[in-house]
Structure 1
Amino acid sequence: MTDSTASLDPVDAEREGITVVPLKLVIGASTFTEGVDATSDDVASALKEFVPVSTSRPTPDEFGAVYERLAAEGFDAVVSVHLSAEISGTFDSAQLAAREATIPVMCVDSRQVGIATGFAAGRAARVVREGGDEAAAVGAALAAGESSTVLMYVDTLEYLRRGGRVGAAAALIGSALAVKPLLTLRDGMVEPLERVRTTSKAVARLEVLTVQAAEKAQDGFDIGVQHLANPELAQQVADRLAASLGREQVPVNEVGAVIGAHVGPGMLAVTVTPR
């Protein structure tokens, strides 16, 4: 299992045998379910129009209902892989529900966000498919999260500041110097990595750092580009990375609505997960 912030395509999730629990969004006065009736475009439009947007985790009861459904379907155990507990209470909800489940549930804090969490869940699913037990699946998910490199460009730190995902001082410095911040994940938290003066320089630096991360992966790697309302630039970056890394293509998708609510329009991110 994972949650909707993992950015898994429904077809891929079904193929891998991964159950996805959705998070919620509140846009204005209306509540929506990620992946059901709320899209990234909805969030981007709301943010651009200064409509209040907030997010909420699944409740323990919602997780518990899914665990019991899986038990009823005949599963012996569940490995539940989620976004960083430093960023969201989703992992805590999963743990609370796991204590009451009628089958063993092992909750994994990926310490990551977005497709890095998706890659971690995918590694766990692959271990199970190849005959590994739940402990091996947990180990694979933890290793994937720990070794992943997430590099993110945002137009402004304001949206992350509003949600409490970076300190107010970092947002103030970014605004005052008119810089284009590059961010990363360290110890499960979003942290500033570098400050660059222009978008073009920030994107060029992101590409350099991505290639460096990929070159360190001696046994190969998974890679993905994500964006919010920035498809043209995302595709350009993916094409250049594919050429640099000797790949036919690098997958591109729009980040989920929940993460999008915290990073804002224009966000561009690359994830590299060694195999």
Structure 2
Amino acid sequence: MGIKIITDSASDIPKELALKYNIEVLPLLVYKDGDTTEYRDNVDIFPDDMYEFMIEGGTVKTAQVSYESFYRKFEECINTDDEYIYIAFSSELSGTYQTSKMVEIELKEKYGDINIEIIDTKAASLGFGLIVIEAAKVAKQTNDKSKVLETIKYMMKNIEHIFTVDNLEYLYRGGRVSKASAVIGGVLNIKPILDVEDGKLIPFEKVRGRKKAIKRIAELVSKRNIDLEKLIVGINYSYNKKDALLLADMLKKMYGIENYILGEIGCSIGAHTGPGTLSVYFLKQNN
């Protein structure tokens, strides 16, 4: 008997780490404008292909993990001796968590108590992914479910998200900024610095120019942390790996940070933030 971790593709966990820590990833769904095909994030459609489509003027929409997918997976779990924890994308940004809870209710009515715990991380992208990875590490080391849940709770409380986007138009399409802000931002080359607070996307600073935005992200890491040399950070990007490596180099030169997870923002997140997004995630240590 063991403890198994399930998550969804909005966690943007690099495939090699999902394999290493035996994390099962359920894909959110992606739809291209004018195409009725249902694409599974990072299964049928991959980030670079989607970003190229968006750069050429195409629009994409996303949908949560389907009810049927949850039902099949959770029912499969019930028929094993293992304990399962499904760690979900923020309920403030997607209906995925709510759908998983609906499936849980139906299965409990059918089977009684089930061996699946569902957690709303109130986190997104690789910030969410770092919570999942740490939970999976603990799950591999122990059969104590309470320790895994304590780890998740601690990570959720202390995980930080800081990111910028290259084009405000994509945030406007997703209802995150006004049309006026998107237009003015484009004209003035304004790059917003954003955060995730209680599961919601929050713009909190504006910087003019891409290079200044990257530098500001690096500066903000030090304002939210102590003991920076031991910090493990997540850095991810959409169609701009060069900028991600530049940010990693800045963090090394400024603070001695050498441990980081580098990954590409998947389709379920990138559809709303667009190509050119750059993010850093880390565990706050000053409280």
When structure 1 is superposed on structure 2, of 242-251 and 185-194 the one drifting more is 242-251
Q: Aligned AA for 2:132?
A: A
Question: Is the CA contact 2:77–2:115 (under 8 Å) kept in the aligned structure 1?
Answer: no
Residue number among 56, 79, 89 corresponding to 1:49 in the alignment: 56
Q: TM-score if structure 2 supplies the norm length? A: 0.87
Aligned to 2:96: 90
C-alpha displacement at 1:13, in angstroms? 1.5
Q: Aligned AA for 2:63?
A: S
Residue number among 61, 65, 74 corresponding to 1:58 in the alignment: 65
Residue number among 149, 153, 156 corresponding to 1:145 in the alignment: 156
When structure 1 is superposed on structure 2, of 123-132 and 166-175 the one drifting more is 166-175
Deviations 1:59-95 (A, max 9, x none): 22211211122233432x3211111110011111111
Deviations 1:32-62 (A, max 9, x none): 1112121111111111112120001112221
Consecutive unaligned residues in structure 1, runs of 5 or more: none
Aligned to 2:200: 189
Instruction: Report the aligned-residue RMSD.
Output: 2.2
How far, CA to CA, are the matches of 1:200 and 1:124 in structure 2?
Answer: 35
TM superposition outliers: structure 1 runs of 4+ over 4 Å? 166-170
Q: Aligned AA for 1:269?
A: S
Question: Is the CA contact 1:23–1:34 (under 8 Å) kept in the aligned structure 2?
Answer: yes
Question: Is the CA contact 2:233–2:259 (under 8 Å) kept in the aligned structure 1?
Answer: no
* Seq. identity, %: 29
Residue number among 246, 249, 261 corresponding to 1:236 in the alignment: 246
C-alpha displacement at 1:264, in angstroms? 0.7
C-alpha displacement at 1:148, in angstroms? 1.0
- Cα distance change of structure 1 residues 85 and 168 upon mapping to structure 2, 3 Å threshold: farther
Aligned to 2:21: 16
How far, CA to CA, are the matches of 1:87 and 1:131 in structure 2?
Answer: 32
Residue number among 63, 81, 92 corresponding to 2:87 in the alignment: 81
Q: Aligned AA for 1:84?
A: S
Q: Aligned AA for 1:72?
A: N
Q: How many pairs align?
A: 273
How far, CA to CA, are the matches of 2:14 and 2:276 in structure 1?
Answer: 21
- Cα distance change of structure 1 residues 258 and 32 upon mapping to structure 2, 3 Å threshold: same
Question: Is the CA contact 2:228–2:255 (under 8 Å) kept in the aligned structure 1?
Answer: no
Aligned to 2:3: none
Consecutive unaligned residues in structure 2, runs of 5 or more: 1-5
Q: TM-score if structure 1 supplies the norm length? A: 0.90
How far, CA to CA, are the matches of 1:74 and 1:165 in structure 2?
Answer: 43
